[in-house]
Structure 1
């Protein structure tokens, strides 16, 4: 599932099952840090954002309505399906419009309705309008496929051509609406206090010196960024790095996915340790952790196109001996990712097996003898990386759900930040803020504590 420059690090199945979450690939974005000052949006500005969204939702509903006449005139079995599909598209467009209308009513008393507004924007509307997996997007995609079939049967079918022209306009309207929803979501959630633009950012880590270590997958490098956005260290002898850890001795542990290896490099960029799998080639490395005993945890997602391939979490010694392994066929132990080794000796992981049959996935604590000591799955579609917090809660990067959540050991969600495109790594900082790699938006953000 994983296209090298596509979204998910829960690898192949997520792309197939979630409409391929494909990201931009070519042109780089100039690095630009932003210290974002805290501000309180005035009521007029806040209402202006909602009014703009309301106008866009109204326009979208009108656009969909334009398909009604021609969609009913397309002949044959395909025409009958187009007719039915139109009503699905119309229903979802009306649902978006109605929810924006409800949002306007809630905004009349924003202080009273703050939580309801946040839920409406971040969860309901973002989910409905998402251009990859939202209900409306799926319906429009289905209509496009049917129109292609109609035009294959008769390339000059005027009604099919009219519908196709409207679909092109709807695509632009969708993009505008999701951008407006995302901007509004940023205003009604905790403020972003630091931001850095980079290409394909994965698993950012705030270092003890205040700098941030970022795996810039699309630019094939690991970079250390100062708070002011200056690159103070860079290692570029890698291909599609997915994770890295700064070690106590100043060296850096790196998951070099493209070269199918895990390496340790010095500040002078000398490789002093390299692990290639020792008998079982590393295939899709999407996580590494350095353990207190000197060993290394590695998450290898395997190759889902190969029925013999094994996905595994392994603990490797400095002598490159595997001393612990939690594994299964890549089609069954799907796209595993790491939370790390816990103080109780258990290992925190994510298993996305539910992707294969449309069921929920789970995060869990795996005991040394490979039992499951704790498990959470409520509402999770796919997960990439997680962190056990000092208070016993678990921070989960719910990638396909476009959000990061904090859950208690009893499974209660006590914090969430959402409406972000393909989060690809998360860290709760000592100051209570949360660092998030937003892979689909090519940026790292630091979100202020609630």
Structure 2
């Protein structure tokens, strides 16, 4: 069985694509026809310099400014075509989305797909050289306006890693793949420093879990006459911006940032901890079905993968807003693994087991009582562990964050989740606020 290399250069620094490609080809002694290159249209000249003998048929172009999901989907299509020819595939990429998709595809085609990060073929920047703001890319004042506008309607505080997607949604120049400057390590930190030195933004905590928030001074500096969540021209030099207060003075109805969004932001960015709302509960249901119908047939690891795979194949149209767009199912698997490792709910031969090196191969023949509620309790505990206040008044917001619904059934489920935590003394009720035991 022959192997085809797929080299995804879409996230390479501008101007380095040819060097990276040449390094891959030279170090692995690849000959024309044994590899396929995926690049943005604007990267094509650099690719041609890096491997000038590559046949045109082995270079696939992605439109400029294609987002992360689009690149992931394009690479997956190329891989599927190669697999259909009976070949194995080795994918090299800088792209985190591509890596996650490949890891999931490997569960469908065991032993036929391999991934290698492209970082080892890239020399990157100069060690110890501090990154400075490049005025030729964008004037400082324009960059600062972009930052405070992006934060105006964001959860406060917001995880630092959420800033770039918000910026890029308003201005594609902030996309990591736009230029060599925007792709450099430290770009977001340097950008934030411009707003910090003006007193517009507060940075809380240390890397990698830093939070950012707009200060009162920053909010006062927002362009005037703009409505929350819209992109309208403000009164300050005609610059684009966002404001939480319309030009009447009092806060607009609905301008409050929902606490459920803050809960979701913390779960996603503080620990890559889901919550995958409807998808999570659908995978739970499939796990229960598999154990009920086939007790002892699946190991801990295989049960989780099987449940995710069946859910994806049978319920994507029902669960996903856009089933045509790729969804990070491998992240769902990793998330469920984290849950069952935090709280043992799977049973093998009468014993609770986790997804550890020594126990992941054990066959699951039963599930603990209230196991789904117990796993969901770990999400509440994670919020508390990260210093997030949770009170009796947050039942609706917890329902929204955990189940994407504020209906009575979701609220009752939240109450049951917390009741179990209280009964097990994993949390305490302190004046209607949930607290971790001392």
Scaled by the length of structure 1, what TM-score is found?
0.22
Q: Which structure has the higher relative contact order (CA within 8 Å, separation 6+)?
A: 1
Tell me which protein shows more strand as a share of its residues: 1
- Higher Rg: 2
